[in-house]
Amino acid sequence: MRIIPAIDLIDGKCVRLSKGDYSTQKTYNENPLEVAKTFEDHGIQHLHLVDLDGAKSKHIVNHKVLETLASKTSLSIDFGGGLKTDEDLRIAFESGAKQVTGGSIAVKETEVFLQWIATYGTEKIILGADVKGEYIATDGWQETSDRSLFDFLDYYQSRGVQTTICTDISKDGMLAGPSFALYEKILKETELQLIASGGISQFDELPRLAEMGCEGTIIGKAIYENRISLKQLEAFILTQS
């Protein structure tokens, strides 16, 4: 199981929110490169980089930060937040993203998202399934759609999508543990590679997610609040290799 720390960006700074609420913003570091290099120094190879400004403004904003992290570290970066147009996607890949995550676009502009998959391939496009209750949330989690999670996943799986990041918004940033039951259901009812996201609070949850069959897990606030140490993650990565 891949360990994928998250860096969420507002005004180019490393921040975290609770349940996607922008009013709960807490800044952890004003230098995302410093954070990324620390991850790299502990054997981490992957990064989930979220442009929260982009998600709110509905177009890519923090691509210069992406470019800096991609050029000055060896991290494989999955980038998301505000990717709405072909131009946004072009900028993200040219700035160094190895993969991009599309959530809102997959809900609101199905044909555009399917065209992205056709153009770039399923290994470069991750389906973002951010769920509030049983329904998919969009636009930086500011809106909730009428698309149910499993209808959404089934639709895109039937069209070639291979990987999804599923975030239970009620858990995100709360340090109360992930949605094990939800992830078990996804793994049982779909054939998608699942990256679990939201609520990771302690190290013991990681082996459990790995045993369930998650392809990766995204960890945010638990790292920044020192609930899980980078040395623990380094040791876990070694056991996985």
Would you please indicate which residues are annotated as catalytic (active-site) residues?
Answer: 8, 130
Among the listed residues 79, 201, 58, 65, the one whose alpha carbon sits nearest the alpha carbon of residue 128: 79
Tokens of 233: 């993650």
233 CB contacts (<8 Å, ≥6 apart)? 3, 5, 42, 43, 44, 219, 223
CA 166 – CA 153 distance, rounded (Å): 10
Q: What ranges in the chain are assigned the alpha helix state H? A: 32-41, 52-57, 63-72, 86-94, 104-108, 110-120, 149-157, 180-189, 205-212, 221-224, 230-240
Tokens of 196: 């679990």
**CA distances in angstroms from 151 to 14, 21, 147, 200, listed in the order given:** 34, 26, 7, 26
